[in-house]
Amino acid sequence: MQVTSPIVGWIWLLVFFLVMFSMAYFTLEKSKTKENFLVADRSLGLRRSSFSIAATWIWAPALFIAAQLAYQKGWVGLFWFLVPNILCLVIFSEFAYRFREKLPEGFTLSEYMLKRFSERVQNLYMVELLGLAICSFAVQLLAGGLIFSTLTGIPFMQVTIAMSAIALSYSIMSGISASVLTDHIQYIIIALAAFIFVPWVVINAGGFDAIRAGWNGVSGQYTSLFSGSGASVFFSFGLATTIGLLAGPFGDQTFWQRAQSTKKEYVRRAFVFGAIAFGVIPLFLSGLGFVMAGTTIKVGSAQLVNLQAVLHYLPQWTAVPFVFMLLCGLVSTLDSALCAISSIAGGDIADRVGSKNPMLFARVSMIVAVIGALIIANVPGMQILYLFLFYGTLRASVLIPTVMTLLSEKIAEAGVFWGILLSIGIGLPIFAYGNFNKISSIIVLGSLITVCTSGLVTYVVSRRMKA
């Protein structure tokens, strides 16, 4: 569904770049210290941290998924997307605070695992954190780049290069401070687009009656969370999604980095407020899916149902802020991933080799990550599913060992190490088989085995060794 010409698309990209880069360039000084570049001197206040967390959690496809689920599976589908997304950040808030207390002058989760356990456990966490960050960057390029290319007609590879260059331009200059600043601006743009255009569509479509007409999805069959068609949504989508989302922040250096960058007294509230700030965006955007579900308008691609609602009920020019909203959701996650990678390179890796110039490691790692992610995203035939299988399993494998480590001093190093290894070795093949063959029960089984194996092994080994 092309809504504009490639030339206009390039103009949008240029304007977006100028706004974001100028804000960072004229507001922030170039970072000259490790402390400033990696954790913003641990000085982020509640407002800046909350909006940064929210913007980082709004990855590009999420701006479309809420409306798509509302359209296809009604309020039941929206529930299983929205509630776990909010709940995981609220739960994480307590562990973020504990992490800050246990590593007050540190930088990464893998650094904490070295201090707590051993170099081999740190290696596992570094592989997980780096793997997730690079694959997350590539997923954003794949999903967001495909959508933007479809809307503008700009070739996919050119879109991915442009997006990467925008995120790198200010991130490499001022690190996490630039990411947080631009996150704030990007969240405001996303919120304004949602708060203005969604009510406008609803009014033009007939008011709340239009939402009520589509409340149970386009088929009208999704009326319950745990019975009938709603039960199938829970088992095929809700359960696996909940497990994956709960594991999300625990296996993502992006959020541990924000915990270290925020003033200690604000860490808990920052994640709770960030969860709420995130939640209102997909909640509003879902209104577009409900409206389209309650009409007889023919929908082409369900993935773009929100944009189709805007184009049908509003003037053509309103597609512009929606494209900017997409750019914001995409780039906010891209720059966060780069900063997460730089914190591991400038912290763990620089310390490992005894470097006296951690800033060089941090900045070079951003460039290397961009090149790597671009190569991955542009591999012929590459699919989001492949990357999701890899990093989804990685982050699920570290969920319970990380939680147990932050809660107890009686966790054994061998339990964490072998628990994570066995979790990946057993869970990934099962999870992959279910996804490739589209067998919901196997997908759920793979998710549960991945999460439970690492936790069970960690628990059993720790009890035996501490007995």
Spatial contact of 262 and 42, defined as CB atoms under 8 Å apart? yes
Residue 220 corresponds to which tokens in the numbers above? 């009208």
Q: Which amino acid is at 354?
A: G
For residue 387, is it within any domain?
Answer: no
For residue 399, is it within any domain?
Answer: no
For residue 423, is it within any domain?
Answer: no
Coil, strand or helix at 220: coil
What's the domain range around 358?
Answer: 38-382
For residue 167, is it within any domain?
Answer: yes
Q: What are the DSSP E strand ranges found in 233-349?
A: none
The number of folded domains in the chain is 1
Residue 428: partners with Cβ closer than 8 Å, 6 or more residues away: 389, 390, 393, 446, 450
Determine if residue 411 is left, alpha or beta; phi over 0 gives left, psi from -120 to 50 gives alpha, anything else beta.
Answer: beta
CATH number at residue 89: 1.20.1730.10
For residue 438, is it within any domain?
Answer: no
CA dihedral 464, 94, 92, 193 (to 10 degrees): 180
Spatial contact of 459 and 415, defined as CB atoms under 8 Å apart? yes
For residue 319, is it within any domain?
Answer: yes
Coil, strand or helix at 154: coil
For residue 435, is it within any domain?
Answer: no
Cα gap 419→131, rounded to integer Å: 18
Burial class (CB in 10 A: 0-12, 13-18, 19+), 156: middle
Q: pTM of this prediction?
A: 0.90
Q: From 131, 127, 246, 261, select the one nearest 183 (Cα to Cα).
A: 261
> Phi and psi (nearest 5°) for 44?
-65, 135
Q: From 216, 108, 163, select the one nearest 323 (Cα to Cα).
A: 163
From first to last of the 467 residues of the chain, give the pLDDT tens digit.
677 889 988 998 999 999 999 999 888 888 889 999 999 999 999 999 999 999 999 876 678 888 999 999 999 999 998 999 999 999 999 999 999 999 999 999 999 999 999 999 999 999 999 988 998 898 888 878 888 888 889 999 999 999 999 999 999 999 999 999 999 999 999 999 999 999 999 999 999 999 999 999 999 999 888 888 888 888 877 777 787 788 889 999 999 999 999 999 999 999 999 999 999 999 999 999 999 999 888 887 777 888 889 889 999 888 888 888 888 888 888 999 999 999 999 999 999 999 989 999 999 999 999 999 999 889 887 766 567 667 777 888 899 999 999 999 999 999 999 999 999 888 878 877 887 777 877 877 887 888 899 999 999 999 888 65
Read out DSSP for 167-201?
A: HHHHHHHHHHHHHHHHHHHHHHHHHHHHHHHHHHH
Q: From 297, 241, 154, select the one nearest 305 (Cα to Cα).
A: 297
For residue 120, is it within any domain?
Answer: yes
